[in-house]
Structure 1
């Protein structure tokens, strides 16, 4: 005889994680053992300190609140509200220990008690089910910042496809590479390369430590062209110092290292530095042979480009690479590094192409700065351009003429980037705008004015212009500007309070009963703005804190939080949680953007699964605490 009650229970469970990961038969077996519990408003399901039950729970109708009891006065503080489909009370399933929270019905509710013994037997160590319950357990814990639980909430999951395994396996390098001494003739070295049919030879000292490398390109560019005779010593044409790594590096790490240094060979040494014995060599060919789709080829296309059309094709190919990486659950840190390298390379080539179109070389040196998300190295999808240009100081009589030259150059670059796919900034925060194309002294004065004469406009522009990154030209100009900014910041404390107030302008993304706060009117009515509700509060907080610490050279938001965790061990868990939350939110926004072919910042909540909504809500947990920390640190309560 069919059990109609169990079938109704099963029909409900199948729509919610982790039960949606189970097949019909095991799900029905669980449903047959479910304990159906009716709760009036205020009824207690379990209390802190109670011996754990034989069930964990899922809300069928209504809502159940979880409370923490403060030790000092035993007052209750609401931690979470579980509504329909939310799983809670998972502690006995994971830790087999007494409850740390109290569960009270927030309204008239029906709760299903899932029998732990039956559940464990039918799931049979299902990895996806276990992973979900671990994160659910961690998200409902009172202290979301413990090291153990925090990593489970926001972890970049380990690879689980064949392509993932390739990316994260140890790189297979050539052991016992062919070597020569620094005083050997190039002719003898070339004969060894020909005999062994290899593309490089490593130059070593008496301790077999690598001091240089000679490749086919060196021979072509330095010998075949007549710059050096074939009899010259290898030390005269070798590339030095070598770039080295330890033997256990992954394919992904090796790939990134080669991209960063624009090289095709890595020396493998005992301790990863050139100051230890050579163990082998890893070539770009080794990686390309293993990886079918790789950023090295994209970067080569960009560097060889002579037209914007080629740049556009290469950058769109990078979008395909981004989608592939996200589908494979490649860690976001690696994805961000790769796409940032590609974005910067596209900008550099756009500038080089523009310079060739200019009637004369630049009258003085200049620095092209990326601002905003590209300046923070967080620009994964196509977005608006934000950039600026600094040129070397010139006499007043030459200023207008010099600025006009760079404005023309910037127009060409901005136009090229627009053709590639980066839209013009609606607020015109681009280098072609005279306001953002200035001499070094003018830029120093601009930042001094923003910092010392703070107003609403200055704070608005600070959110863009204080996240800059040198892309092309004379980097010393950017360094001098940075020195001036930090010297001025040391003379103004009120500026940080203005920045702090601005960082609090977007409150928690959730209402009191855990509902998402959506746009109330206009063309985006009922949509959830993940950029302004969730990402920007973290970006603003990280910027403020890192500036107040006078830390230079750390622009990326999650790297800023990680650096703050080093600087303030007492707040390490909070900062690390913010870093993990930011990465998870950025990955979610990027996936939404790819799915809907837009920026991903506006989300139609009805299109999300229950699991996706739960993941988002878990990411919001650190937002409230970091904003509370800013209020205290910068005395913002009455500011």
Structure 2
């Protein structure tokens, strides 16, 4: 092959859809290519005129217009255009003009048609618009993971073994042995029909019955766990895994039409497909010292990498890592109470930010707070809670969760307050959306009670959902603040890089990627009064309203998933290479597939931000982001 053709082949092979063509097909394309040059301002394609080529941009920039003359897209190196006319009647449907001096590879219509008819990946690419290609890319990843596509019903091999709450301990133990089960689903038979009342596991029998030397005549209901966490039979296995991690339970009753259909255990999921995050959580609760927890924390990066390599999606990974972080925090609180004694008044320990959203990764700091009972007296009680907060915060730092640079931690007395004060905080932030209030809103409006009187956190969630949804002024200022963080996409759909310090010639996939998406999803979620915290669950709630235009929710979901998974893979590759993981990415370290679809995702975010300004009438100006 001539040197010029080799250069063309090498360039095509970097960009979709040509990067997935077999070698012999790519050579066939290259041997038939023609080359054309267009000066800036020159029309390349004119509406209604004949077109016999697929146009591929070798260098330069092109503007593509709709039939009405409205700008449709700006594209640059590696992009293709002109395909829609070729697929229909060989006449131009989207006019195009050279924005810069531009070199074009022209692929003749017979070659285009051969690729379109014989290669599914090529056909998918040229037939779909940017957001649809993004949906396809996300779907391919999801379909490759068994936990994402398999239903819980696959794990159910038998009906649940049930017993009345009045059954004696000895009888219950005998039933569990005879049925070879690790749990009993207990039914309240005082009502008709009987209802699920609780569950007893092998562990409950050991720790609550044998260890306490309870008489064999004790009713089994005395040691059961109430407040059952259940899951519907049509749910996916990964949803069961996330529920177990989030709630720190090892057994889930499966229900269908309100009736128990079976019980699945953690071991059932492990047998189906190993996800080692569950082992880390188990080991955490077996540790009795901070040093022991620190040793377990060294397994977290390997767990993260393993999930990435098993094609888990960002929701699974973020929830699993958040579950691990919660477990470290919960165990530290247990150890802290064992050291300091029982708390003088009830309290709730709250996770904030990414942990509360179930979107935590390996590069993270600690954001937390305490909600204390209204009977809290600082002079009598605060010495205890400060000591407990410091024990937990220092322990988390030992386990790899760095101190919050902004001091958003329960060690700060401002974030260790009675419930009535927290109500005042949130009410004031919503009614008086000043710069500091908006900054706090972007952190504290992602909250989750993870230990103690978690009902305190639920009360705050309900207060926020009620007041924020009624305050258009607050939502408008939140929208303005969210618009300060924009995706790193330039005028020509090129990446905009940092220009100073160690991050020179990189872009930050958290600050300029996932964070802007989370920000705008949070605002829509507040507007519709949702109590959800996770971004994907918030999108489900938003989808039930008219807040976003058609396809807006799906496009945002796909954009968030793709940006997040590129960020996740970047961190996993750093860990495997023995480097410190971070969020700063160089475009040259991304594959052509990732570069192309990241641009699609960033364009979705940019469009969503424009709609955000329109939807909430965001005032002009800037705020602290």
- Into which bin does the TM-score normalised by the smaller protein fall? 0.7 to 0.9
Q: Aligned ranges for residues 602-621 of structure 1 at < 5 Å?
A: 602-621=584-603
Q: Could you tell me how far apart the structure 2 residues matched to 1:382 and 1:139 are? A: 34
Q: Could you tell me how far apart the structure 2 residues matched to 1:515 and 1:210 are? A: 57
CA deviation after TM superposition for structure 1 residue 601, in Å: 2.7
CA deviation after TM superposition for structure 1 residue 301, in Å: 0.9
Alignment match, 1:575: 553
Q: Could you tell me how far apart the structure 2 residues matched to 1:136 and 1:312 are? A: 51
1:529-562 Cα distance to aligned partner (Å, 9 max, x none) = 333333333222222333333x242222333233
CA contact (8 A) 1:43 1:104 kept: yes
Alignment match, 1:379: 360
Alignment match, 2:128: 138
Q: Could you tell me how far apart the structure 1 residues matched to 2:369 and 2:454 are? A: 13
Question: Does the C-alpha gap of structure 1 residues 532 and 207 become closer, same or farther in structure 2, counting only changes over 3 Å?
Answer: closer
Question: Does the C-alpha gap of structure 1 residues 450 and 65 become closer, same or farther in structure 2, counting only changes over 3 Å?
Answer: same
Q: Could you tell me how far apart the structure 2 residues matched to 1:238 and 1:245 are? A: 19
Alignment match, 1:19: 18
CA deviation after TM superposition for structure 1 residue 613, in Å: 1.9
Q: Could you tell me how far apart the structure 2 residues matched to 1:227 and 1:613 are? A: 63
CA deviation after TM superposition for structure 1 residue 415, in Å: 0.5
Among 566, 590, 598, which residue is 2:544 paired with?
A: 566
1:205-224 Cα distance to aligned partner (Å, 9 max, x none) = 89999776654445445654
2:285 counterpart of 1:334? no
Q: Aligned ranges for residues 37-76 of structure 1 at < 5 Å?
A: 37-47=36-46, 55-69=53-67, 74=68, 76=69
Question: Does the C-alpha gap of structure 1 residues 285 and 589 become closer, same or farther in structure 2, counting only changes over 3 Å?
Answer: closer
Unpaired stretches in structure 2, ≥5 consecutive residues? none
Equivalent position SS for 1:505: coil
Query: How many residues were matched structurally?
Result: 612
Question: Does the C-alpha gap of structure 1 residues 12 and 523 become closer, same or farther in structure 2, counting only changes over 3 Å?
Answer: closer
CA deviation after TM superposition for structure 1 residue 421, in Å: 0.4
2:141 counterpart of 1:151? no
Equivalent position SS for 1:567: coil
Among 608, 615, 620, which residue is 1:626 paired with?
A: 608
Aligned residues: CA RMSD = 3.7
2:263 counterpart of 1:252? no
CA contact (8 A) 1:390 1:439 kept: yes
CA deviation after TM superposition for structure 1 residue 464, in Å: 1.7
* Bigger relative contact order, structure 1 or 2 (CA pairs below 8 A, ≥6 apart): 2
TM-score w.r.t. length of structure 1: 0.83
Alignment match, 1:31: 30
Alignment match, 1:299: 281
1:456-483 Cα distance to aligned partner (Å, 9 max, x none) = 2222232222222212122233344445
TM-score w.r.t. length of structure 2: 0.84
Q: Could you tell me how far apart the structure 2 residues matched to 1:125 and 1:487 are? A: 55
CA deviation after TM superposition for structure 1 residue 578, in Å: 1.9
1:164-217 Cα distance to aligned partner (Å, 9 max, x none) = 347744534323676667777665665555456544566688999977665444
CA deviation after TM superposition for structure 1 residue 229, in Å: 4.8
Alignment match, 2:157: 174
2:342 counterpart of 1:364? no
Equivalent position SS for 1:571: coil
Question: Does the C-alpha gap of structure 1 residues 230 and 439 become closer, same or farther in structure 2, counting only changes over 3 Å?
Answer: closer
CA deviation after TM superposition for structure 1 residue 404, in Å: 3.1
Question: Does the C-alpha gap of structure 1 residues 528 and 292 become closer, same or farther in structure 2, counting only changes over 3 Å?
Answer: closer
Q: Could you tell me how far apart the structure 1 residues matched to 2:264 and 2:470 are? A: 50
Q: Could you tell me how far apart the structure 2 residues matched to 1:307 and 1:12 are? A: 57
CA deviation after TM superposition for structure 1 residue 63, in Å: 2.5
CA contact (8 A) 2:370 2:416 kept: yes
Question: Does the C-alpha gap of structure 1 residues 538 and 97 become closer, same or farther in structure 2, counting only changes over 3 Å?
Answer: farther
2:103 counterpart of 1:110? yes
Question: Does the C-alpha gap of structure 1 residues 508 and 193 become closer, same or farther in structure 2, counting only changes over 3 Å?
Answer: closer
2:78 counterpart of 1:85? yes
Q: Could you tell me how far apart the structure 1 residues matched to 2:133 and 2:74 are? A: 19
Q: Aligned ranges for residues 256-295 of structure 1 at < 5 Å?
A: 256-267=242-253, 271=256, 273-274=258-259, 278=261, 281-295=263-277
1:59-85 Cα distance to aligned partner (Å, 9 max, x none) = 12323321123xxxx3x2323233222
Question: Does the C-alpha gap of structure 1 residues 99 and 329 become closer, same or farther in structure 2, counting only changes over 3 Å?
Answer: farther
CA contact (8 A) 1:26 1:123 kept: no
1:210-249 Cα distance to aligned partner (Å, 9 max, x none) = 7766544454456545765546676676667876656665
CA deviation after TM superposition for structure 1 residue 381, in Å: 2.0
2:85 counterpart of 1:101? no
Question: Does the C-alpha gap of structure 1 residues 273 and 8 become closer, same or farther in structure 2, counting only changes over 3 Å?
Answer: same
Alignment match, 1:391: 372
CA deviation after TM superposition for structure 1 residue 617, in Å: 0.8
Q: Aligned ranges for residues 440-451 of structure 1 at < 5 Å?
A: 440-451=419-430
2:532 counterpart of 1:554? yes
Question: Does the C-alpha gap of structure 1 residues 189 and 448 become closer, same or farther in structure 2, counting only changes over 3 Å?
Answer: closer
Q: Could you tell me how far apart the structure 1 residues matched to 2:419 and 2:164 are? A: 47
Q: Could you tell me how far apart the structure 1 residues matched to 2:535 and 2:444 are? A: 15
Question: Does the C-alpha gap of structure 1 residues 605 and 219 become closer, same or farther in structure 2, counting only changes over 3 Å?
Answer: closer
Equivalent position SS for 1:296: helix
Q: Could you tell me how far apart the structure 2 residues matched to 1:226 and 1:112 are? A: 79
Equivalent position SS for 1:373: coil
Which range moves more in the overlay, 216-225 or 240-249? 240-249
CA contact (8 A) 2:469 2:526 kept: no
Equivalent position SS for 1:526: coil
CA deviation after TM superposition for structure 1 residue 637, in Å: 5.1
Equivalent position SS for 2:141: coil
Equivalent position SS for 1:516: coil
Q: Could you tell me how far apart the structure 2 residues matched to 1:179 and 1:547 are? A: 41
Alignment match, 1:345: 327
